[in-house]
A and B are shown apart, each in its own frame.
Chain A
Amino acid sequence: MKSVFKELVHAPWSAKFGFCVIILYVAVALLAPHLAPYGETQVVGDGFAAWGAQFPLGTDNLGRDMLSRLLYGARNTVGIAFLTTMLAFLLGGLAGLIAALKGGWVDMGLSRLVDILMAIPQLIFALLILSVVGTTATSLVLVIALLDSTRVFRLARAVAMNVVVQDFVEAARLRGEGTVWLVTREILPNAAAPLIAEFGLRFCFVFLFISALSFLGLGIQPPTADWGSMVRDNAVLITFGDLTPLLPALAVALLTVGVNFVVDWMLYRSSGLKEC
C-alpha cells in the first residue's frame, strides 16, 4: 500500500488528476443523500427554473432540483456501471481462466461462442435484446455484462495462457491441486496487473455505453436520477443557450477522462517502456 502511494507522488499530473476525480465521485456516490438539498424524485418548484439561491443549478423539466439529481446520479449511474463491469469480469474472467487451464474442447467451444457474439456490434446487439426483453435496470445490467464479458474473456484467456505454461503451474498440477486452487492461487495472482488495467478500460466503456442507452431512452428508466436520461430530458434548454443540460454529460465525461488517465499511467508503468 505504501509503495503504491509513493509511486503516486511521482506519477504525472494527469494520473494524479485522475485519482482525485475517482475519489471525489466515490465520495459523492456514498454520501449523496447527505449532500443533496432535496430528494431524488421530489418535485420542488416550477419546471426549468433558473440558477439561484434556492436551486443552485435550477430545476429540470418536471421541477425537480438539478443539483440533487446530479448528486444522486453519481450513485445510480456509476453504481450500475460498476455492478455491470464487476459481473462482466466475474463471468468473462472466470470463463477465460478456465478456458486457458482446461484447453481442448472447453477452450474451443468457449472461444468460438465468443467469436460469434463479438461479430455483432455491441450497441446493435444490446438494442435487439432490449427490444425483446424490455428495458428494465436488471435486463440492462445482465445484457451489457454478458456482451462485455466477451472482451474480458479474450484478455483473461490470453494472459492466462502465458501463465499456464509456467513450471510452477505444472508443479501444482502434479501435486494434484484442483481447478479452484489453480485458478485462485496460481494463475490469478500472476494475471492480476493487466486485468486491473482492463477493468478500468471496461468500466469506462460500460459507463459510456449505459449513458448512451439512457440518453436514447432505452437505459435506466425514470424517475431514477441518471445522467444520460437527464441530458435527454433537458436537451431543449440547449437551444436557448443554457448550459444546465450539459452538466450531467460533463459529469460522465470527467469520470471517464479520469479513469482513462489512471489506466494510461498504469499501462505505461507496467509495460516498462519509460523511454521509447
Chain B
Amino acid sequence: MLASMPTCHREGKEVTFNEHVAPIVLRNCAVCHRPGEAGPFSLLTYADVRKRARQIARVTARRYMPPWLPAPGYGDFVGTRRLSDAEIALLQRWAEGGAPEGGPAHRPVPPSFPPGVWALGPPDLVLEMAEPYSLRAEGPDDFRNFVLPVPVTRTRYVRAIDILPGDKRIVHHANVLVDRTGASRRRDAQEPGPGFSGMDLLIESDRFEPHSHFLFWKPGTPPQVEGPGMAWAIEPGTDLVLNMHLFPSGKPKRVQAAVGLYFTDEAPSEHPMLIQLENDRALDIPPGVDDFVVTDDLPLPLDVDLLGVYPHAHYLGRDLRGFATLPDGQRRWLVWIKDWDLNWQGVFRYRTPLFLPRGTKLSMRYTYDNSAANLRNPHNPPRRVVAGNRSADEMAHLWVQLRPHGGPRSRLLLQEALMRHRLELYPTEYSSHFNLAAALQSLGRQEGAIAHYRQALEIEPGSSTARNALGTVYVEQHRLALARGEFQRVLEQEPDHVQARYNLARVWLARGDLRRAERELSVVLEHEPDDLESLYTLGSVLAREGRLAEAVVPYEHALRLAPEDADTHNTLGQIFAMQGQLRSAERHFASALRMDPGHDEAREGLARIRSRRAANR
C-alpha cells in the first residue's frame, strides 16, 4: 500500500501528519523515541514530530535513521527496520509542505508499549551491577565489561535474557558472555573501579561447551525468547559478563545495568552453536590504504540451519560481506553491509532458518578503509593498524549461529572442523589444540585427543587444565600409571586443583588402593564439602573397606544435597542392611522405589529385608 503512495500524492494532495506521517513514525521511530528509551527525544505526538520535521526529513533521506545496517535483498532478517523509498519521499514532502497536522478523521491511535521496564514482565532472576560505573562526560567511546555472578544453587535453563542497560541514551549496545571459568572475575580484580576495559571479550573455556546463543542488546530491539528446546543451561558458579559500548554524552553519567533471566523447566533438546569466521591475523593495514580486504572461508562438514549472524569490525571496517557457496557453486548471501558503522552493530536473525548442505563453504569478505578520507578513522594522520581489543585496533569477525543436523555428535564434528581450520591459520594456538583434543576425546578418538593435548602442553607446559584433561584420556584407556603421573604433576604445580585430585582418587580406587583414594577424597571435600561425586565416591570407598558406619556419613550428606536421588537411597539401604539395621534399610529401599519404581536392586533389597523380618518374627 505504501509503495503506491508516491503516485497518489505526487500532485496536489497534501501530505499530513495524521494521514501519512504518523503511521511511519509511530511504527518505525517511536519504539526508541519515547520516554525512558534510547532516542534522545520523543516522537509520539504531532507536536513532537512537527518540531523535528526538518531533521526527520534529513536523517531518513540519508538513511541514518532508523538505524539498520544490512542492505536489502541480502538476508531476510527479523525486525528489519528500514523505510521504503516511498515512505522517505512522504517524509520529505511533509516537511517541505510545512508539516501540517491534517484532519481529525485520520488521527492516529497512539502505539501501546508493554508497561514496566522489563519487556517480558518480571524476570525470574535479576542480576545487578554491585556498584555503578562512572562514565566520563567526554572523550572516546568506552568499552567496558562488568562481571555479574549468577546466584543459582542448581542448574537452571534460560529461555530468555533481557538487559536493562541503565540510561539507554549512553549505551550503543551490550553483549552478555557466559563465563564458567572465573577468568573474568580475576581480570576484574586487576583493574580499579567497577568492571574492566576492552572491546571484545574472549573467554577461554576448558570444556566443550560452546557459547551457543547470541545474548545481545541494542536499542529498540525486543529481547529474544528462545524457541522450544532452545534454552541454555546455567550452572552454579557461572558468571555473566556484560560487555557494554558506552558513549559519553557531555555530562558524567552513572551506569548501573541489570540483566534479567527467564527460566524454564524444559531442558534444552536443540543445541545451536556459535561459530566464528575470522582472520585477525591478516589484519595489518598500512596507513592510507582504503581497500584492504580480509577473508576467511570455512567448509561445513555437515548439514546445518543458519539462525543468525553478527558481523563485527571496528572503525576502519567499511564493507562487510558474508555469504555461503553451496556445493553446486550457487551463492547464498548471509549479509551485506555496505557502509559499516560500529555504533549500530547488531545481531541479525533470519526470519526463516537458512538451510546449508554439507560441503557448503561459509565465507566472509571484509574491506577496510585506513585512509584519512574515512571520517571514523581513529588515527589522524592514519597509522598502521593491526588486530586488537582496543577500539583503535581492528577486528575481522563474522559470528554465525547455526544448528547442525544430527545428534549431539554433529556438534563435535563441527567443532573438530572449526578447530582444524583454526589450526591451519594458527598452528601454535594453545586453545585450538586444546579444544580440538576435547572434541576428539568426546568423539571417542583417544589417540588424536592425546596428540593434541600434548601439543597444547608443548605450547603451555604449565597448563593444569590440559594436563588434567590428558590424564582423563589415559583413564579412559585404562593406562592408570600414565594417568596417575599427569594428575600428580598437576598437583605438584597446583595443589588446590580439585579436579586433578578427584581424578587421582579415582585412579587409586581403580587400582584397589582404597587408603590413598580415601585420603585424596578427604582433601577434595575439605575444599568442596558439597561435591556430590566426591561424596558418593568416598562413601563407596569406605563401604568397600568395610567401614560401614563411616560410609553412611557422606551418603547422608549427599542425600541432603540431592534428596531425590534413588541410587543414593538404594546404596544407603544396602549399607544399613549389611549392618543389620533393617528398619532404616527398608525405609531407604522404599524411598528409592518411590523415586524410581523401576529400580531393580532396590526392589530386590526391599524383598530380602521383608522376608528376613518375616523370618525373624
Are A and B interaction partners? no
